[in-house]
Amino acid sequence: MAATGFGADVRQILNGVEKRYNNAQTLRVQFTETYQVQGRRRQMESGELYLRKPGRMRWQYDRPQGKLFVSDGKFVYYFSPDTNRAEKMKLKETEDMRAPLAFLIGRLNFRDDFQEFRTRAEGGGTMITAIPKSDKAPYTEVSFVTAPDFTIRRLIVTGVDRSVLEFTFTNEARNPKIADSLFRFEPPRGAEFIDLSR
Question: CA separation (Å) from 134 to 49, 95, 117, 180?
Answer: 27, 15, 14, 34
Where is average pLDDT lowest: 32-46, 87-101, 142-156?
A: 87-101
Distance CA 103, CA 186 (A): 23
What's the pLDDT score for residue 109? 84
Q: Please report the beta strands in 42-151, taking only residues with DSSP state E, as ranges in sequence order.
A: 45-52, 56-63, 65-72, 75-80, 85-90, 114-122, 125-132, 139-146
Average pLDDT over residues 32-36: 93
What's the pLDDT score for residue 43? 79
Q: pTM for this one?
A: 0.87
Q: How confident is the model at residue 81 (pLDDT cuts 50, 70, 90)?
A: very high
Where is average pLDDT lowest: 91-95, 159-163, 174-178?
A: 91-95
Strand pairing report for 40-41 and 125-132 = unpaired
What's the pLDDT score for residue 39? 72
Distance CA 36, CA 41 (A): 4
What's the pLDDT score for residue 103? 63
What's the pLDDT score for residue 4? 45
What's the pLDDT score for residue 1? 39
Q: What percent of the chain has pLDDT over 70?
A: 93
Q: Which CATH architecture has domain 8-195?
A: Clam (2.50)
Strand pairing report for 192-195 and 85-90 = parallel
